[in-house]
Amino acid sequence: MVLAIRVALIGNPNVGKSLIFNNLTGGKAHVGNWPGKTVERKEGRCVYEGVEMEIIDLPGVYSLTANSIDELIARDYIVEEKPDVVVDIVDASNLERNLYLTLQLIELEANLVVALNKMDIARDMGYEIDVKALSEILGLPVVPTVATTKQGMDELKKAIIKAAQQRGRRRIRRISYGKDLEAIISTIEGILKKDRVLSSRYPTRWLAIKVLEGDEEVLRRIDRSPVKAELMEVLG
Amino acid sequence: MRGLGLYALVLGVIYVSLGLMEFILGFFDMFLGGAPLSCLWIPVDLFGGFSAFVIGLTYLAAVRLLKGEYESISYVLVATMLSTVFGVLYVLIFLANGLSAYLSGEEWSWIVDLARPEIWLFISSTPLAYSTWSTARKPG
Amino acid sequence: MSRIREVLGEDPEIVLAERRYDWISKVLPKVMRGARPITLSDLLDKALLDKYLGIPIFLALWWALFRFTFDVSAPFSDLIDMFFSRLGEAVEPALGGGVLSSLIADGLLGGLGSVLVFIPPIFFLFFGLSILEDSGYLARAAFVVDKILYKLGLHGRSFIPMLLGFGCNIPGVMACRTIDREEDRLLTIIVNPLMSCSARLPVYVLISSAVLGGYAVAGIYSMYIMGIGLAIAMALLFRRVIPYFRGRRSAFIMELPLYTVPTLRSTILHMWERGFLFLKKAGTVIFIGVLVVWALSSFPWGAGLEESYIGVLGRALEPLFRPLGFDWRGAVALFFGFIAKEIVVGTFGVIFGAGGEASEEEIADVIRSENIFTPLTGYAFMAFTLIYIPCVATVGVIYRETNSWKWTLFTVLYELLLAYFTAFLIVSVGHLLGFS
């Protein structure tokens, strides 16, 4: 039985994240800045069926690299603060581009709920989306919503609560990026696991992927790790 | 569809030839000290020639309309827009030159200004513009 | 990472991105049905963003913009010109000779008037730019150019701040805040002043109409293209040569706005907003600058132009500029151009003012008859104006945005050097080709 949970909202710019934030928090938000940065930080509260949710609005981003302040803020929050649930707000009329972020969130092993917003616009454009199939393929709960008319909000709250309760118990769907790449990722993961400190703090698969991408922030964290030498040798 | 395609093709060929000639005359004039043959109706205009050439290419890009590919209508849409921009531009220049001449009391070679080919090509492109734009506006 | 690159055949970062998208495109058909109907916007984009036609179309539209700016506004400039010279003719005898008369006739009417003559081209330019921007086209142009810049090795989202620099470098520099990586942002700020701002337009118009004859518009157009070219070239050069700028680039993702038909009202509004800034500037900075120039050129009172303070200053600067073909008058005008580029014209207006009736036509005549500039050196002068240091206000903003004396100084220095080098190159090549 959960009484208080922390929920982070994330998604591409212009997907209706602010609207959903307002729908959930009733428009009351505490606005400030992320510590030491000029990026705005919005927090609010939502109570549903006896559960108190602290909702935080992460910056709108297209991906989670170390290249921009917005992306770093969003990523760091998820990785360091480890919120109970992360709601990925996806624009149903722009599925292809939005799913790119979703994949990266899955790599991060965040406790995800997908809010499939703008269903009305998708319908107007002639799209038919099989929500159940999408949910099965992603291995995640997917809630269709229309933020402008507040449709799906209750279902979303229910899904958030359920996800929080099932945290840690849910099977994490592993999405394969191709045999050759996966082999390399496994090798790097194996090396990283030897550093107990690192692998207990961060998901190793995500670390391995970031190392491959040459992510500056992750490389900086690994710089002081005992496994660095071995890693450098494998990478060449 | 075929009709539109042919119409665009014809305009394209005319614009491309016009553009080439304007450009060549302009090039001679600027760098080689004088146009070899100054044809009365073809302006000596380096960048203007380049622009006309580009408009022509855009019309020609619509050639796939002839094969029935609807999407190629986009080239006609943009090309007619360009025809309009330049057509209107040269008309405005015609008027501005007139105003200048009136103010300064100088001679006004209004025939040359008005005979600018792009103006007349713009006028000839208007039926094409009308039919392609009204077709494109219809949904689906 | 080299071993991995060998195994995969490519940079792992790229492979990862590709695999993610591959996965998505395999999954999409399983969860989604129905294709998006083609919108008018899609159709327009197909042609405007075309791999081959995109940039030529942009260049053609840009040419149209300049013909519009210069040729269609010309009669209005003539009107203002005539107004000021009639005013000068009327005023001078009324005030008699003497300091006040000279102040008003040569300083105000001659100097300031020569700048105000350029109100029509500036407003026409902003009118045209507003149409291009409000219609949504400019974003497409930026997209097409950015795509190529990215392939060349520059970062994403670099062209829009640069395009903004065409109105005034200050919003251009500030717009660089949209760029993700600090290093890329700095790079774009540093090359931004190479984009020809509207304050330089009066200089181009004056010189080109004086010495370039029928090619005046082509000359002006080429300044803008040169600015774009140099900005790109310098950015690429700095990226390669200065270690600070190397490394990962900002992502290239852009949201394209919807196409809209710009209304007359909104276009005029935008034109007025930007043009008004010019008028305000004219009323203050330029006004004061011109008065300073007038004062320096009129005192010691009674001495001829060449013996005045400004003449002394000019003579001191002249040796620097002689290889470029500029005489002391051009040198002095460039010197004061640091305050505001329009003052270059204002300076000419003051020192060439044959009494108060200095109209643009007369200034142009003086330039021609006294051979102050030949077509070649005039063109080099325009290029110099394009490239050499931005105005004081822009330098101030650069400092504010970069927070670094080092980089601000670097910008000023490299631009001075580049300007000198380019002007010299133009003059040298011109001599070789037989121009004087």
In a domain, residue C350? The reply is yes
Distance CA C212, CA C226 (A): 17
B66: confidence class by pLDDT, cuts 50, 70, 90: low
**Residue C23 to chain A, least CA–CA distance (Å):** 7
DSSP H or E run through C359: none
**What are the residues whose beta carbons fall under 8 Å from the beta carbon of C334, sequence distance 6 or more?**
C321, C326, C344, C384, C385, C388
Q: pLDDT-based confidence at C355, cuts 50/70/90?
A: very low
Which residues of A fall within a CB distance of 8 Å from C3?
234-236
Which range among A67-71, C1-5, C352-356, C386-390 has the greatest average pLDDT? C386-390
**Contact between C188 and C407 (Cβ < 8 Å):** no
Helices (H), C110-181: 113-116, 119-134, 137-152, 159-164, 169-174
Tell whether A10 and A117 lie within a shared domain: yes
How far is it, in rounded angstroms, from Cα C392 to Cα C341? 9
Q: Is C12 within 8 Å of A133 when comparing Cβ atoms? A: no
Residue of C136, C195, C204 whose CA lies nearest to C165 = C195
Q: With beta carbons under 8 A apart, name residues in chain C contacting A212.
A: 1, 4, 12-13, 16
pLDDT at C234: 92
Return the pLDDT at A1. Answer: 55
What global pTM score does this model have? 0.72
H/E element, A117: strand A112-117
Question: Quick one: what percent of chain B has pLDDT higher than 70?
Answer: 89
Shortest CA distance to C48 belongs to which of C61, C39, C38? C61
Does C28 reside within a domain? no
Would you give the DSSP letter of residue C255? P
pLDDT of residue A123: 86
Asked whether residue A171 is domain-assigned, the answer is no
The verdict on residue C256 lying in a domain is no
- pLDDT at residue A44 in the model: 92
Assess B83–C contact: CB distance below 8 Å, yes or no: no
In this model, does residue C356 exceed pLDDT 50?
no
Contact C415, C388 (CB under 8 A): yes
Are A3 and A51 in contact by the 8 Å Cβ rule? The answer is yes
Last residue of a domain, one of A165, A199, A222: A165
Pull the structure tokens for residue C408. 């601000």
C-alpha C189/C-alpha C406 separation (Å) is 13
Question: CB-CB: which of A62, A137, A178 is closest to C27?
Answer: A137
**Shortest distance, CA C16 to any CA of chain B (angstroms):** 33
Return the residue in C10, C13, C32 with the most chain A beta carbons within 10 A, the one to mutate for interface testing: C32
On whether residue C169 sits in a domain, the answer given is yes
Contacts of A63 in chain C (CB under 8 A): 251
Q: Are residues A193 and A144 in the same domain?
A: no
Q: How far apart are CA B122 and CA C93, in angstroms?
A: 53
Helices (H) and strands (E) in chain B, counts: 5, 0
Integer Cα distance of C334 and C340 in angstroms: 10
Q: Using CA atoms, how far apart are residues C70 and C136, in angstroms rounded to an integer?
A: 24
A170 DSSP assignment = S
Whether A197 and A227 map to the same domain: the answer is: yes
Domain that holds residue A141: 4-165
Strand-strand pairing, A30-33 and A40-48: antiparallel
Is the CB of C19 less than 8 angstroms away from the CB of A177?
A: yes
Does C56 contact B57 at a Cβ distance shorter than 8 Å?
yes
Same domain, A120 and A49: yes
Query: In sequence order, what are the beta bridge partners of C75?
Result: none
Sequence-distant (≥ 6) Cβ neighbours of residue A77 within 8 angstroms: A8, A56, A58, A83
C-alpha C194/C-alpha C169 separation (Å) is 9
pLDDT at C326 over 80: yes
Residues of chain A with pLDDT under 50: none
In angstroms, the CA A199 to CA C54 distance is: 49
- Please write the tens of the pLDDT for every residue from C32-50: 887 666 778 888 888 898 8
Contact residues, A window 106-165, toward C, CB-based 8 Å cutoff: 125-131, 133-134, 137
Tell me, yes or no, whether A134 and A190 share the same domain: no
Q: Which amino acid is at C248?
A: R
Report CB contact under 8 Å: C40, B58.
no
**Contact status, residue B75 vs residue B103, Cβ threshold 8 Å:** no
Which residues of chain B make contact with C56, given a CB cutoff of 8 A? Answer: 50, 54, 57
Quote the number of domains for chain A. Answer: 2
Return phi, psi of residue C392, to 5°: -50, -45
Phi-psi region of C157 (alpha: psi -120 to 50; beta: other; left: phi over 0): left
Q: Which of A165, A193, A224 is the last residue of a domain?
A: A165
Phi/psi at A49 (5° precision): 50, 45
Mind listing the pLDDT tens digit for each residue in A37-83?
Answer: 778 889 999 999 889 999 999 999 988 988 788 899 999 999 999 99
Q: Is the dihedral of CA C360, C366, C367, C369 positive or negative?
A: positive
Domain membership of residue A120 (yes or no) is yes
Closest-CA distance, C166 to chain A, in angstroms, reads 27
Q: At C199, phi and psi to the nearest 5?
A: -70, -25
pLDDT for residue C7 is more than 70: yes
Q: Per-residue confidence at C293, pLDDT binned at 50, 70, 90?
A: confident
Q: Tell whether A82 and A30 lie within a shared domain.
A: yes
Flag whether A20 is in a domain. yes
Tell me whether B25 touches chain C (CB under 8 Å): no
**Cross-strand bridge partners of residue A10:** A88
| C chain contacts of residue A235, beta-carbon cutoff 8 Å | 1-4
The DSSP bridge partners found for residue A87 are A9, A113
Strand partners, A33: A40
Q: What is the pLDDT of residue C82?
A: 83
Structural domains in chain C (count): 1
d(CA C248, CA C197): 30
Q: Do B54 and C59 touch (CB under 8 A)?
A: yes
- What do you get for the CA distance between the two ends of chain A, in Å? 50
**Where is average pLDDT lowest: A85-89, A193-197, B60-64, C300-304?**
C300-304
Q: List, for residues C253-292, the tens digit of each pLDDT value.
A: 677 777 888 888 888 988 888 888 777 877 777 778 878 8
The residue range of the domain holding C241 is: 54-248+278-432
Contact B82/C57 with Cβ under 8 angstroms? yes
Interface ipTM: 0.93
How far is it, in rounded angstroms, from Cα C128 to Cα C121? 10
Written as one string, the DSSP assignment of C216-231 is HHHHHHHHHHHHHHHH
Give the C-alpha separation, A112 to A107, whole Å. 11
**In-domain check, residue A148:** yes
Whether residue A174 lies inside any domain: the answer is: no
Please answer yes or no on whether C16 and A212 come within 8 Å at the CB atom.
yes
Q: Are residues A39 and A72 in the same domain?
A: yes
DSSP string, A32-76: EE-TTSSSEEEEEEEEETTEEEEEEEPPP-S---SSSHHHHHHHH
Q: Which residues of A touch C180 (CB under 8 A)?
A: 67-69
Average pLDDT, chain C: 83
- For residues A20 and A137, membership in a common domain is answered with yes
Q: What is the pLDDT of residues B73-124, one digit of tens each?
A: 889 999 999 999 999 999 999 999 999 888 888 888 788 788 899 999 999 9
Q: Give the tens place of pLDDT for each residue, B30-48.
A: 776 666 666 667 888 889 9
Instruction: Classify C33 in phi/psi space as left (phi over 0), alpha (psi -120 to 50) or beta.
Output: beta
- Report chain B's mean pLDDT, rounded to a whole number: 86
Chain B, nearest residue to C57 by Cα: B54
Which of residues A133, A165, A197 is at a domain's end? Answer: A165
CB-nearest partner of C19 from A13, A69, A178:
A178
Whether residue A90 lies inside any domain: the answer is yes
Q: Look at residue C264 and tell me if it is in a domain.
A: no
> Which element (helix H / strand E) includes B11?
helix B2-31
| pLDDT value of position A156 | 94
Chain C residues with CB under 8 Å of B55 CB are 60
Cβ of B61 within 8 Å of Cβ of C53? The answer is: yes
Statement to judge: residues A125 and A227 lie in one domain = no
| The pLDDT of residue C434 | 78
**Chain C CB contacts of B100 below 8 Å:** 74-75, 78
In a domain, C319, yes or no: yes
Q: How far apart are CA B104 and CA B109, in angstroms?
A: 14
C83 touches chain B (CB under 8 A): no
